[in-house]
């Protein structure tokens, strides 16, 4: 029992991606949760930069705002706002799972479609407010 055995060379995550795995809505949303999470973590740099520019004064803020209002800044903000709202909606779905609710396959699919729909509706609402207030 005490003889140490060599560690078997098992495949490590994410080895299933590729030829072994068929994608479904539930798994795609799960990946999207992680991907948006990573994207949002990087996005905190932009958020911090905004407040730092504000604290530095009107010149620094104007230089920063110029990038935000440029086309690439707007594209970045659009993607970032959807990622944030998607991660928030899917996060609520995860919280329900954490208390043991919504595990059946039909409910997991229904909540998945609902999360995608609500994330786009909320993103649309935020941009409508921003553009047409």
Partner 1 sequence: MSLRSPLGHARGLGSAKTGAHHFWMQRLSAVALVPLTLWFVFSVAQLSGASYTGVLHWVREPVSAVALVLFLTALLYHSMLGVQVVIEDYVHHEGVKLTSLVLSKFAHLTVAAASIFAVLKVALG
CA distance 102 to 109: 10
* Residue 113 C-beta: closest distance to partner 1, Å: 20
* Residue 46 C-beta: closest distance to partner 1, Å: 10
Give the footprint of partner 1 on this chain (CB under 8 A). Answer: 1-2, 12-14, 34, 37-38, 40-41, 44-45, 47-48, 51-52, 54-55, 58, 61-62, 65, 81, 84-85, 88, 91-92, 94-95, 98, 122, 126-127, 129-131, 133
CA distance 46 to 81: 12
* Residue 59 C-beta: closest distance to partner 1, Å: 9
């Amino acid at each position: 029992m005490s003889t140490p055995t060599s560690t078997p060379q098992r495949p490590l995550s994410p080895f299933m991606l590729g030829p072994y795995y068929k994608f479904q809505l539930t798994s795609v949303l799960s990946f999207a949760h992680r991907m948006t999470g990573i994207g949002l973590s990087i996005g905190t740099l932009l958020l911090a930069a905004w407040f730092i520019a504000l604290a530095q004064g009107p010149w620094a803020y104007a230089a920063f705002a110029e990038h935000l209002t440029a086309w690439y800044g707007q594209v970045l903000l659009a993607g970032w706002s959807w990622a944030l709202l998607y991660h928030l909606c899917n996060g609520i779905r995860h919280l329900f799972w954490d208390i043991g609710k919504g595990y059946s396959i039909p409910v997991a699919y229904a909540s998945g479609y609902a999360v995608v729909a609500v994330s786009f509706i909320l993103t649309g609402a935020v941009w409508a407010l921003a553009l047409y207030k």
